[in-house]
Structure 1
Amino acid sequence: MAQNQGGGGGGGGGGFFSSIASSFSSFKNQVNGLLGYEGLEVINPEGGTEDAEVEAQRGRWKGEERDSYWRSMQKYVGADITSMVTLPVLIFEPMTMLQKMAELMEYSHLLELADECEDPYLRLVYTASWFISVYYALQRTWKPFNPILGETYEMVNHCGITFIAEQVSHHPPISAAHAENEHFVYDITSKVKTKFLGNSIDVYPLGRTRLKLKKDGVILELVPPPTKVNNLIFGRTWIDSPGEMILTNLTTGDKVVLYFQPCGWFGAGRYEVDGYVYNSDEEPKILMTGKWNESMSYQPCDLEGEPLPNTELKEVWRVAEAPADDKFQYTHFAHKVNSFTTAPKKLLPSDSRLRPDRYALEMGDLSKAGSEKSILEEKQRAEKRMRESKSQEFVPKWFDQTDQIFPTPWGDLEIYEYNGKYSEHRAAADSSGTVEEVNINTIEFNPWQFGNVGETS
């Protein structure tokens, strides 16, 4: 059952949670001591320390690749490697970060329920569950491709949603996205900050996420927990997101505070999420509990956080069945996101689906994927040189940079806002009489500001 965290979002630091964290730290240190690689922690979330050496040899890397990559990465320990390290295509999935952002749309029916809900606290249950639902997809251990500057991703044919994302900055990497249907408007400016720790990496989400429900016009803002990628080089890679998620109704002051428990001894607490919906006076109204990879449930509670008499725990969300033994751990919806069935008419040539490196990886050709990735990165560098020679700044098409600086728990963020131009473009494209076949063979990937500079320079 949920633990009462208080309305402020600073709870969970003592008692059971503290002991779990202490055990987890001790466990990592013991495993680390069994290995011959200084600075590495090999963590088996399912077992003890006796199999640390075996665990270190597991994963997708061959032995010589692990040793070589560790030698090349040692100098980056403690650094932010968001945009400074070229990673081998071996650890990638055939999807870009812009597409990964669109996976949040899978369970958008929860927003329809929230928009039509008269109870302001149950409305927060629906929206918080919607934000939690994407964590099942985020647990995939493959890395998405970093978008090229100016790259886009469009999605239609799902619950009436129009989704557009654009890579608006390269250094630092910043993505912006906008989604809308008859029930909601979703906007995000997304930037991450990382800390490389040897065999793991901490990922801090420096983003601003806003959700507007159209019926009552309420605006909600999300602060997600950080994420830790464990066993990056040695061992089986796995993901944990310990910490708090805070969803605030900016219109009323009500909020949800949910605690993502860290993985402890033998997997204790892994995936578990507990917390409360609070009113503007920080009094608990509804408890929420579940697992982010499985389901979420809720129950009305008293001022002490205890379930009200004659009420029962009700399930609000459950993860959809996923394909068995999928090579990249994709859900059915992830396959839709990656396909042209969700592409609109007259797809923008800057769309992620058209990337030749992504497509080569999807076809299983790692060598071609690696060479195509290098070609795209060199073209991006060539375009930067041309832009500098012309004393020009990159200007996104679908989002405008504002003067706003948004503070997050991990640093400040420059805000990009949707400018509405994509809606005009989409309306014109949809109303046109021509229907073009859209696939990787008919449209060349082209996010370039100055044309294909790699061929013209």
Structure 2
Amino acid sequence: MSSVSATALGLEGPLCKWTNVVKGWQYRWFVLDQTTGLLSYYTSKEKMKRGSRRGCVRLKGAVIGIDGEDDSTFTITVDQKTFHFQSQSSEERGKWIEYLEDTIMRHKGKMSEARRASSEKGVDKKVLEADAYLQILIEQVKALEQKMEGEEGDNIRETLDSMRNNAKAVIESIKQGIVMLQIAKLVPFRSFVKNTVSPVNGLMSKDEREDSSPVDVPSSSKAAHASHMSSNSSLDSIEANTSPQRNNLAKRESMPARSYSSSEDEFEDAVESLVTNDRTTNSRTLAKQNVYADDSEEDALDCESHGSVITHLLSQVRLGMDLTKVVLPTFILEKRSLLEMYADFFAHPELFSTISDIPDARDRMLQVVKWYLSSFHAGRKSTVAKKPYNPLLGEEFYCVWDVEENRNPNKPIENLEQVTDGPVPWGNEEQVVFVAEQVSHHPPISAFYAECADKLMEFNAHIWTKSKFLGLSIGVEMVGQACVSDLKHEEEYIATFPNGYGRSILTVPWFELGGKCNISCAKTGYSANVTFHTKPFYGGKLHRISVEVFHITDKKPFVTIEGEWNAEMNAKWADGRTEVFIDTQTMNINKKKIKPIEQQREYESRRLWNGVTVNLKAKNIEKATECKRFLEERQRREAKERKESGAKYQTKFFQEDGECWVYQNPLQKRLEEQTKLFSAQQTDNENTPSTPINRTAVQQRPRRPVPRGSLPSRTISTPLCRRRTYRLLLQGI
């Protein structure tokens, strides 16, 4: 039976509290009074009855944090201190967190609108100034590091290294200052609190009552209280909590001005995760509603109402800290997986599939650039920077696109043959088909592959995301590369990805791309340098992009492209001509086709995350968090089981090849296997004596089985594939 008891005024029971005096966990008896918003603790239950309070935590303006790796510990951050607690079980921790969050909501302080507007204006100015200086320093440190690489003298290198270290220390200070300014803006609190003699159990002074601004406890919490009372509290304990002896005890204990501990121990926090609720549920219960039918823009974020979560995140992160392990609050999540967002690279599949149709090498390079530049805007459904779900290990995503440019008008789509041995068995030969898999969790690596069999086009890519806290922004580095393969001309185009930035994370966050990328083809010698420009502090436009396209023999680019990657981009040729290169605002996004959720496999993205998505759509953040937590805990449990058994996770569709992840059964491999099979059949026919053909017998002859992983024999009858097969034979492949 749980040792935690619900009382008429809150909750009480044992917890362990970390203390720096003895550097360890110490047993304490805790009493939560929801009316006054105070969590008091004593060395024992007997000391509690005598009124010998050891310390207390004021919950007004407090932030609850939990450790995703440990299901029994949690923290309370308030009054510039972080208190660490440990319960006997995850169930008890859940009960404490539920009551503590209800108490925090009841005592959430409010500022007048006039005072708030005035203070925010001043803080905004200081935050922007600090961020401007921060960006300048970061750029100067980068320039200094580049200069160090070219210096050979030891003395000079030591001097420059010392300057770099000092500059990084200044950057650290500025970033910490930005964090404090952000917290000051988001969670304003009173500078002084009157130390009035007020009973702990509810009899506050007039000043305290007016300032506390109590909020009614939600009905669900009241029901939970009643349940705890009936199942875990005896009549004696309830009477003790409301007895005259307890009230006399309360009168002897004053309401403190600040949270305190008898040892004044401060714990240097290292918690990296936070959630809004700790209760879990089974997300496999799929809601029967089509939450993906509406592709309208995402709702704006209400960061004001979720301020304590953002503040806690800011208070935990450090300069340059990797945010991969930080569990972000559910309310800022976008209603789709990152794997599905990668699929939107092919929102204009006709640009990709027609690359091989272009006879001139230079024009093919320009077509690759055009497809690349058009691939980013569809991935952002809104100007608001929400974060897609972090894919779980083993998660899959499949989709296809119809390509009108590919279709033969005399051939109905229902008569097209399916590429049953391809990445999407229900896709046909004239479609662009796509498959993605999360192949690693630490580091988080996503691999994806696309092809258009009819056009002999392939695409293989992997991306490893690294997130860092950058003061006013969160930066996501996209480590990895893509390979666009034109099998018809035997060309490969290697491309890299820009970084992503979530700006203004305390108000309404917005998204931009930044960094330098490259597209190159070793066979033809063409390359393109692509620069995504971030918005400067003063002036400038958003989402600017510039591109220079070269040949290896050129000293200057033969064409430059400038504009905005989510709008119009104009090309200027070396001979002075100008034209609109591409305008994403006037292009129709080709929507991907996906199987209904009830027909998907367990680990397909939309089915896997359906519980989270349905509840986000219904604005039920608490339930969405429960579903998300279930998936994350299952992933941790499976990883623990593999570690204990010494088993290595086996990927399904991709395999590691050096630093890259490649699709195991790409179109080129299948064509080569089919070519070998065709060649073997031709050899057999040459060695077989010529006999009259019995056409009836041929028609009735069973089809020769095709080895696993190869193209079925019907592929040979496809004209383009047949030409490809003969060409491979002539080249001796």
In the alignment, is the contact (CA less than 8 A) between 2:526 and 2:552 conserved in 1? yes
Shift in Å at residue 377 of structure 1? Answer: 0.5
Equivalent in the alignment of 1:374 = 629
Native 8 Å contact 2:473 2:504 kept in 1: yes
Q: What SS class does the counterpart of residue 355 from structure 2 fall into?
A: helix
Find 2:350's aligned residue among 109, 112, 116.
109
The verdict on how the C-alpha distance between 1:314 and 1:380 changes in structure 2, with shifts beyond 3 A counting, is: same
CA 1:364–1:129: 2 relative to 1, 3 Å = farther
Pick aligned residue for 2:612 from 357, 379, 390: 357
C-alpha distance 117-314 of structure 1, shift in aligned 2 (>3 A): farther
Offset at residue 31 of structure 1 (A) = 11
CA drift of 1:361 comes to 2.3
Distance apart, 1:216 and its partner CA: 1.0
Instruction: Quote how far apart the aligned CAs of 1:89 are.
Output: 1.0
2:528–2:550 CA contact under 8 A, matched in 1: yes
Name 2:437's counterpart in structure 1: 166
Amino acid at match of 1:148: L
Tell me if structure 2 keeps the 8 A contact 1:96–1:144.
yes
In 2: Cα distance, 1:79 partner to 1:88 partner: 20
**Residues 420/97 of structure 1: CA separation in 2 closer, same or farther (3 Å cut):** same
Provide, for residues 319-346 of structure 1, a one-character-per-residue CA deviation record: whole Å limited to 9, x for no partner: 3578xxxxxxxxx65xx45x746x6996
Change (3 A) 1:293 1:157: closer
Map of 1:290 onto structure 2: 563
Aligned to 1:448: none
Structure 2 residue aligned with 1:38: 177
Matched residues in 2 for 1:42 and 1:241: separation? 26
- 175, 179, 187: which is aligned to 2:446? 175
Alignment partner of 1:417 is 2:662? yes
CA RMSD of aligned residues (A): 3.6
Which of 294, 318, 327 is matched with 1:86 structurally?
Answer: 327
Residue 483 of structure 2 is matched in structure 1 by: 210
Distance change >3 Å, CA 290–CA 361, structure 1 → 2: same
- Whether 1:253 and 2:525 are equivalent positions in the alignment is yes
Q: Could you state the TM-score of these two structures normalised by the residue count of structure 1?
A: 0.70
Please give the residue correspondences for 1:4-403 in structure 2 after superposition, counting only pairs within 5 Å: 28-29=131-132, 38-40=177-179, 60-63=301-304, 65-139=306-380, 140=382, 141-159=385-403, 160-181=431-452, 182-183=454-455, 184-232=457-505, 234-265=506-537, 268-283=540-555, 284-301=557-574, 308-309=575-576, 311-320=577-586, 336-337=591-592, 340=594, 347-355=600-608, 356-402=611-657
Q: For each residue in 1:141-175, what CA deviation from the matched residue of structure 2 results, as whole angstroms up to 9, or x when unmatched?
A: 11000111101000024330111100111111111
State the AA in 2 paired with 1:369.
A
Q: Secondary structure at the match of 2:177?
A: coil
Whether the 8 Å CA contact 2:301–2:508 is kept in 1: the answer is: yes
Task: Measure how far apart 1:130 and its partner are.
Answer: 1.6
Structure 2, unmatched stretches of 5+, are 1-126, 136-173, 189-299, 404-430, 671-707, 713-733
**How far is 1:317 from its partner?**
4.2
Q: What is the CA–CA distance in structure 2 between the aligned matches of 1:173 and 1:97, rounded to whole Å?
A: 11
Give the Å deviation of 1:237. Answer: 0.8
Q: 1:137 to 1:28 in 2, by over 3 A?
A: farther
Output the CA distance in 1 between the equivalents of 2:470 and 2:376: 23
Which residue identity does 1:123 align to in structure 2? Answer: R
Shift of 1:30: 7.6
2:662 aligned partner, one-letter code: E
Using the TM superposition, name which of 238-247 and 266-275 deviates more: 266-275
SS of the residue 2:524 aligns to:
coil
Q: 1:387 to 1:36 in 2, by over 3 A?
A: closer
For the residue of structure 2 that corresponds to 1:386, the secondary structure is helix
Question: Using the alignment, how far apart are the partners of 1:121 and 1:80 within structure 2?
Answer: 43
Residue 273 of structure 1: SS of its match in structure 2?
strand
Contact 2:356 2:486 in 1 (8 A): yes
Give the CA deviation at 1:425. 8.9
1:279 CA drift (Å): 0.2
Question: 3-state DSSP class of the match of 2:377?
Answer: helix
Q: The residue matched to 1:84 in structure 2 has which SS?
A: coil
Deviation at 1:112, TM superposition (A): 3.2
Aligned-partner Cα distance in 1 for 2:368–2:323: 29
- Per-residue CA distance 1:46-82 (angstroms, 9 max, x = gap): xxxxxx979x9xx724436324432343232224434
Matched residue SS, 2:446: strand
Name the aligned partner's letter for residue 637 of structure 2. Answer: A
Q: What is the total number of aligned residue pairs between the two structures? A: 361
- 1:26/1:366 CA distance change after superposition, 3 Å: closer
Q: 1:254 to 1:427 in 2, by over 3 A?
A: closer
CA 62–201 in structure 1, closer or farther in 2 if over 3 Å, else same: closer
The residue that corresponds to 1:444 in the other structure is none
CA–CA distance in structure 1, aligned partners of residues 318 and 654 of structure 2: 35
Residues 342-389 of structure 1, C-alpha deviation per residue, up to 9 Å, x if partnerless? x69964331101022234324443222111000001111111122122
1:216 is paired with a residue whose SS is coil
Residue 39 of structure 1 aligns to a residue whose secondary structure is helix
Shift of 1:83: 2.7
Deviation for aligned residue 1:421? 8.5
Q: Distance in 1 between matches of 2:482 and 2:512?
A: 21
Partners in 1 of 2:710 and 2:599 — Cα distance? 9
Amino acid at match of 2:527: K
Distance 2:181 2:362 in 1: 42
CA-to-partner distance for each residue in 1:283-338, whole Å, 9 max, x for gaps?
A: 3112212210112332431xxxxxx15x331433433578xxxxxxxxx65xx45x
User: Following the alignment from structure 1 to structure 2, what is the Cα–Cα distance between the partners of residues 320 and 353?
Assistant: 29
